[in-house]
Amino acid sequence: MTLSLAAHAQAQPPAEPSPAALVDALNNAFGKHAGKRASHAKGFCATGVFTPAPGAAGFAGSPLFRQSSVAAQVRFSVGGGNPGVSDKSRSVRGLTMRLSGGGEVYDLLLLSEPVFFAATPASFVSFLEARVPDPATRKPDPQKIAVHNAAYPDGTRQPALLAAHAAPQSYATTAYFSNNAFVFGGEGQARQHARIVVEPQAGTHYLSADQEQSLPDQFLQAELRERLGKDAVAYTIYAQLPAAGDSLLDPSQPWQGSAKVALGTLAVQALDDAGACDGVVFMPGNLPASIAMSDDPILRSRAAAYAVSLARRSGGK
């Protein structure tokens, strides 16, 4: 039986969203804010040092991991595209860093939950379209979110995790995750997939109910400044290895793998009030020679979308 043209069109998979469509979805959900990033618009800069772990070069065999230590340019942020969002919001926190040494640059883009909110660019756009505020209520329409969740169940996982706990007490007491998998190669070793996990040496702590009520909406930067006045804030960076069945392509799926390889320690030493990171575009494709991107479609879509976002905050449309 021959399908009609209309039925044939409906049977085709939806077209892949363009890089501009990804940024449009963020702008439509959070508004356009001149000079600000489309995602993680609220943030501030810091500086620090990354010290590779002994044997890290055996897992990721590039010059950067053979240095005694390398410079780290860091940005802490609150998820979403609203630069005025509350620090108490139950949204993701971001830790982004650029490690520079041994003639290499390594950009790590990390979130405070172990899963992303979308498995594909199409789901990414749909997730945000469902959350465009209703003009009357100024809040997302729950029915639109339900329709998205029915079409894209991957969009339910990260929101469920965020709803299960309060916001972090501090950027220093938050774990961070790459969500995306990368392919690592060491000295004489077969290449293997891994996700990045960053664990705070101060432990993971969320706001208490009293703190949620009493703290001001803007407290994270001042809290970290006070903490850094006493000592550096340290994190241990690991490569998490997948267990059998863990998806290498879907960042919305949590990994069950418990094996980890220590890559090194990040010590954040001071805030950068000059904001040197504000003009930096941290790119997930800026990788040492021993690390390559996986075929994760979200990961593959990010570089072009970041270029569109940069053009817009630099004065383009």
pLDDT score for 314: 78
pLDDT score for 120: 98
CATH label of the domain that carries residue 211: 2.40.180.10
Q: How far is CA 36 from CA 85, 150, 169, 177, 311, in A?
A: 13, 32, 25, 23, 11
In a domain, 10, yes or no: no
Task: Supply the range of the domain harboring residue 248.
Answer: 15-313
In a domain, 140, yes or no: yes
pLDDT score for 186: 73
pLDDT along the chain (317 residues), means of 10: 42 77 96 93 98 94 96 98 97 98 98 98 98 92 97 98 98 98 84 96 98 97 98 98 98 98 98 95 95 97 91 74
As a whole number of angstroms, the distance between CA 94 and CA 98 comes to 13
Catalytically annotated residues: 40
pLDDT score for 2: 43
Spell out the residues 6+ positions from residue 45 whose beta carbon is closer than 8 angstroms to its own.
Answer: 73, 74, 75, 271, 272, 273, 274, 275, 276, 277, 278
Cβ 236 vs Cβ 176: under 8 Å:
no
Residue entry with tokens 């000059």: 274
Binding residues for heme: 306
Nearest 10 degrees: CA dihedral of 59, 64, 66, 69? -120
As a whole number of angstroms, the distance between CA 67 and CA 61 comes to 11
In a domain, 6, yes or no: no
Beta-ladder partners of 234 = 267
Supply φ then ψ for residue 122, to 5 degrees. -65, -40
**How many domains does the chain divide into?**
1
The DSSP annotation for 159-179 comes to: HHHHHTS--BS-GGG--EE--
Question: How many helices, marked H, and strands, marked E, lie in the chain?
Answer: 9, 10
Among 129, 123, 98, 115, CA closest to 25: 129
Cα angle vertex 96, ends 95, 101, to 5°?
Answer: 130
Q: Is the pTM of this model over 0.85?
A: yes
Binding residues: 306
In a domain, 7, yes or no: no
Q: What three-state secondary structure class fits 130? A: coil
pLDDT score for 188: 67
